[in-house]
Structure 1
Amino acid sequence: MASRASSDSVAPAKLPLLGTSWYRRGAGYWLRRTRSVLVQFAFSALFGLFSVAVWQHIESGLPPGLHAGADMAMGALSLGFLVRGWIWGRRTIRAKLAAPPTPEQAWQLHRLARAGRGSADPDFGRRGGPLLFFAPFVPPCVAWWVGATCATQFVRETPAEAGARKALSRS
């Protein structure tokens, strides 16, 4: 039978954004998880303000009698998209927890996600015109994104943690 000292000699794997704090779940772990949620909320707030500004600009072009109806329709559509985003996020987390990534796979996914950031499309000026057609749908899309983000952030254990625990129990 292995002693506790020999089982503790296996170092927990370092995970993206969590380091090794996931293993003990101390104050550092919860600070990192809280910081991640706060960053997501700050981005969501900015994106939400942008979507409200877009909607107000579109609504200003409508006849005055249609403002209340358009607001109710946009609110209902956004609420529906928020719920759909939440459902999608929960299904995604459930699928990822069913087959959690190993720590190496978690790092690969993290690197891939970072590699895609900051690469601006130089042709957006020429091809971005048709996107203006979809401007009225920005608020529901933001609502979907907020729902999906909340569903994936408010979990007890991330898929990377589950995979690392599984890998640690095998060794």
Structure 2
Amino acid sequence: MGSDSDDGTHTAGTVEPFALPILGTTWVDRGSRYWTRRSWLFLRSVPFVALGSFGLGAFYAAFVSFIPQPARTVVHIVEGAAAVAALGVGWVRERRVRDVPVMPEEIPGQLRRSRANAERGRNMGALVMVFAPVAPGLIAYLLGVWLASVFVRVTRRELGARLDYDRRLAAATAAQVSLAKPPAPRNGPTRR
């Protein structure tokens, strides 16, 4: 007599969760290991965000230095208002995007596309000079996107992995229940 795993069926306990990049399988129970990894992800991204903000801010400062002093105040006010608006737009946009789950089978394609976009971004570094006048708005928009993605409760990948895990767990449980049902009587109901 073999076990359930010998005949190809699986019990509900053998469904393995999908391992997400950086988070692994800690997203299932969301314990201290999960929050440690999420904190490490945040702390690891802070230097990159600070460096990018500093670089774009330096470009903007160089641009503003060529503007006459009386007009500089007006430019700062307009840029400040645009930056506040862009921060809000970046936050809202990222929150809307984060509500759409990414299923586990989509992750390799998404990683490939993000690497291609990063390579394209490196080749377009000269365009940053052209965008110097709108640097504060761009910084604020990217900061809003980053803050929304870091402080979101559940990431898109976690949401997709959770849906996939729940679907596979329900299928395994249904298969286990169907195997546990007693067979129907062969001769029909008995009469007395």
- State TM-score, norm by structure 2: 0.72
Between structures 1 and 2, the one with greater helix share: 1
C-alpha distance in 2, partners of 1:76/1:45?
21
Q: CA RMSD in A?
A: 2.2
What's 1:150 paired with?
147
CA contact (8 A) 1:78 1:143 kept: yes
Shift of 1:106: 2.3
Query: Structure 1 residues 118 and 35, CA, compared in 2 at 3 Å: closer, same or farther?
Result: farther
CA deviations over 1:6-25 (Å, ceiling 9, x no partner): 43322211112211111121
Count of aligned positions: 157
Letter in 1 for 2:54: L
Shift of 1:131: 5.3
Letter in 1 for 2:13: D
What's 2:60 paired with?
55
Letter in 1 for 2:78: A
What's 2:43 paired with?
38
* Alignment pair present for 1:132 and 2:133: no
Letter in 1 for 2:114: A
* Alignment pair present for 1:87 and 2:92: yes
* Alignment pair present for 1:167 and 2:167: no
CA contact (8 A) 1:89 1:152 kept: yes
Query: Structure 1 residues 16 and 108, CA, compared in 2 at 3 Å: closer, same or farther?
Result: farther
Gaps of 5+ in 1: 1-5
Matches of residues 82-121 of structure 1 in structure 2 within 5 Å? 82-94=87-99, 96=100, 100-118=101-119, 120-121=122-123
What's 1:3 paired with?
none
Computing the radius of gyration from Cα coordinates, the structure with the larger value is 2
Identity %: 32
SS in 1 for 2:153: coil
Letter in 2 for 1:102: M
CA deviations over 1:102-137 (Å, ceiling 9, x no partner): 21212331243235434643xx59xx4x65332211
Query: Structure 1 residues 17 and 56, CA, compared in 2 at 3 Å: closer, same or farther?
Result: same
CA contact (8 A) 1:55 1:139 kept: yes
SS in 2 for 1:69: helix
* Alignment pair present for 1:66 and 2:71: yes
Query: Structure 1 residues 56 and 116, CA, compared in 2 at 3 Å: closer, same or farther?
Result: closer
Gaps of 5+ in 2: 1-10, 169-192
Structure 1 moving runs of 4+ over 6 Å: none
